[in-house]
Amino acid sequence: MKIATFNANSVRMRMPIIQEWLSEHEPDVLAIQETKVEDGKFPVSDFEDVGYQVAFHGQKGTNGVAIATLQPLQNVKIGFDDPLFPVDGRVLMGELNGVTIINTYVPNGTAVGTDKFEYKLRWLARFRQMLDQKFGKDAPLIWLGDINIAPKPEDVYNSKRFYGGVGHHPLEFEALNKIMDWGLTDCFRKFTQGPGFYSYWDYIILTSVEKNFGWRIDHIYASPALQGLCTECVIDRAPRSMEKPSDHTPVVATFDL
């Protein structure tokens, strides 16, 4: 089973890239974040044109998550099912061939010390609570998406410069580690160590891709039942250099299921 994640930064703007990528790579699953479109305007037919079904949960102009699959996704759910947390286009989950797939667009946090940063930390804590409440440690589960955290110095091109800011802050590391302590494995780091491997390059720096001024903030995690079955996890940089790209690029993991 080939499973990928991609922050599209507007699914409608990025449809040519998405269609070409799906046709070329034929993943079983593509989890998409920042779709930025309300459900009534989601481009379902564009996915159907290349052989995919799609579940989605979005809102106008911001956030939004979707899961495109070759086979029907079962038991689709949105949000945390918690009245204290808005259903704001950040969590979409379903089951495929007995595997639970949780697609998330983790809040960015905006700036340390703000309400949005505190919300990000509460959101991450609530995600860990959801794992405890809904899933046993033996559950075949994959968590993936734009996690909006570069958890190690090697996950950002200049850790010294960005340490302590949003996306590279010790409180975020602590919150992510608590989630991983549930039993999750970072699939990319299972196979690849060291710096220089990124999934996001800021638009603001026009030469960020050429100079590899990037961040690894798009992740795929596997539960104990699946981590030994992951045979490969790679970052596909090619879409970031295509015409009118997202500022992110796909991450792809393969499982021997």
Q: Where are the alpha helices (DSSP H) in 170-257?
A: 170-180, 187-191, 208-211, 224-227
Residues 6+ apart with CB under 8 A from 246: 6, 7, 8, 9, 10, 14, 17, 239, 240
Whole-angstrom Cα Rg for the chain: 17
Beta pairing partners, 101: 94, 142
146 is catalytic: yes
List 146, 155, 218, 247, catalytic entry: 146
List 52, 105, 198, 200, catalytic entry: 105
157 is catalytic: no
Q: Where are the alpha helices (DSSP H) in 36-186?
A: 44-48, 115-134, 159-162, 170-180
Neighbours of 59 (CB within 10 A): 16
Q: 34: closest CA among 61, 69, 4, 15?
A: 61
Q: Where are the alpha helices (DSSP H) in the chain?
A: 15-25, 44-48, 115-134, 159-162, 170-180, 187-191, 208-211, 224-227
Residues 6+ apart with CB under 8 A from 98: 140
Question: Mind telling me the catalytic residues?
Answer: 105, 146
